Structure 1
């Protein structure tokens, strides 16, 4: 494989730095699926990681980016084969596990979800982690039997990702 381009956060004596540079496949973390990343998002947590204003990143060097869509390049996981379109949200990616702001990511296949039929990689990332979280929140309300007939709901943080999708 070789090298690929990635945004990389490092931490030195003077603090955190961010650079777009070559990253070596040999330095990717453990995982049984390697994905060619085609799309990602910029979440609030990603902004904190990139600017170093909050301790989001837990190890260095770190490739930030908490979610992606892409195409499987190699796989030792029984559910995925090269060419499969996949989505990943969460799992510590971009915090403790090298993330999405790169041309390639190696992750555990159990963290992946097949790209839903009828949804493009761009659409999956337009929804992103925020939309996925909003959907899970809605499903939790449904599971508890809460409906509009129960009265108004309060949505906080509606200026950002989850809130704006939920509203």
Structure 2
């Protein structure tokens, strides 16, 4: 089990690791990129943050509608036996497979097209930061912590993706 906030914010480190691995190779082959693409890149990053905010704050299914997922979270019957130790959730949130999913296309397309391609992984970051911050305040407002994972004794129902526990159950 990992906290949903940790899952969202771990993307920053995952994308950073992927760029850290691929950037030296791509920049070594192509050199530093020209700065005439900086404004469009910033506009796309801003749009990513805006769509992340829309997805997390609405119930609409076609906009992402994650707010409905938060409200339908299944309360854990026995949080103490299921939840990880404090700070363990953040360690478990780091997903090496996502690093590979970002790093491989970045490396291939960066070598084929040019050095600006190494920044495509950054498009995940604003959306996840917005979702993580929104979730942090949502959890505080509702007095619960939201968790991703599976509990064999308490399976999730249809359209349920998260578990909840009282905020006092763990420092998470």
Q: Which protein is richer in strand relative to its size?
A: 1
TM superposition score category, shorter chain reference? under 0.3
Q: Which protein is richer in helix relative to its size?
A: 2
**TM-score if structure 1 supplies the norm length?**
0.25
Higher relative contact order (CA 8 A, sep 6+): 2
